[in-house]
Amino acid sequence: MHELAIADAILSMALEQAVDRRVARIGMRIGHLRQVVPSALRFGFEMVAHDTRAQGAELEIEQIPVSVWCERCREESGASALPLVCARCGTLDVAVRRGDEMLVDWIEVEEKE
């Protein structure tokens, strides 16, 4: 379950950025090629965030579909299965444009009282 290691890294990043404030929400973008199961990541985050300033924080995940650039057609198209091929001509001569990212986009913290 690599999601637990990812959750731990997200928690560390969020707590570092929050300094001494409570983390309320974290927004992420995760590409389909990363093969991260959102429910497993949320569960792992809940586990590692227990008894920290991020306990109860919501993890919002936007899943990014795969998009490839075809060198033959000179067009971008979606790709839904491996091996990645051009949706138009079927060539394997493609480069991934989207779908392999894993980014923490934003962290929402509560202001100190």
The answer, yes or no, to whether residue 112 has pLDDT greater than 80, is no
The whole-number average pLDDT for the span 58-65 is 97
Structural domains of the chain, with CATH: 2-65+99-109 (3.30.2320.50)
Cβ neighbourhood burial of 83 (10 Å; 0-12, 13-18, 19+): exposed
The whole-number average pLDDT for the span 7-17 is 98
In this prediction, residue 1 carries a pLDDT of: 59
Per-residue pLDDT of 16-35, as tens digits, reads: 999 999 999 999 999 999 99
Contact partners, residue 100, CB within 8 Å, separation at least 6 = 31, 33, 34, 66
Q: Report percent pLDDT > 70 for the chain.
A: 98
Per-residue pLDDT of 77-97, as tens digits, reads: 999 889 999 999 999 999 999
Confidence (pTM): 0.87
Confidence band, pLDDT 50/70/90 cuts, at residue 53: very high
